[in-house]
Structure 1
């Protein structure tokens, strides 16, 4: 098999679609993010819980969230 030069000309770049900004910056792994929230298929309508912690200048905010398929619901909220 011979050597084939990859041609990246104007036609190539016209159709090229860039990745999402946070993906390009390496800040967000969307595959891992999806796996955090999607429940296994054999668990049917069982909600999946997660803890969300946010840091502000003054406080630490913790939330427990339930993730159903329709929309996330915050179960409780704590500020310290």
Structure 2
């Protein structure tokens, strides 16, 4: 069994930049895409392929019972 270093038990998993060939965006949540500049910069790639779902740019709303829908 592999042991982790102290303080690293809950560290987030990070992709290995050299091992990424394509970026896939399944839906357009701002919190899923805010690190794209940094990731592409770390990769050092100019022509990184990006696959985007056809409705990626669709506007979405949050709806709560008894309230008007709001845009996130």
TM-score range, shorter chain: under 0.3
More strand by share: 1
Structure with larger RCO (C-alpha < 8 A, sep 6+): 2
More helix by share: 1
Rg (Cα) greater in structure: 1
TM-score normalised according to structure 2 size? 0.23
TM-score normalised according to structure 1 size? 0.22
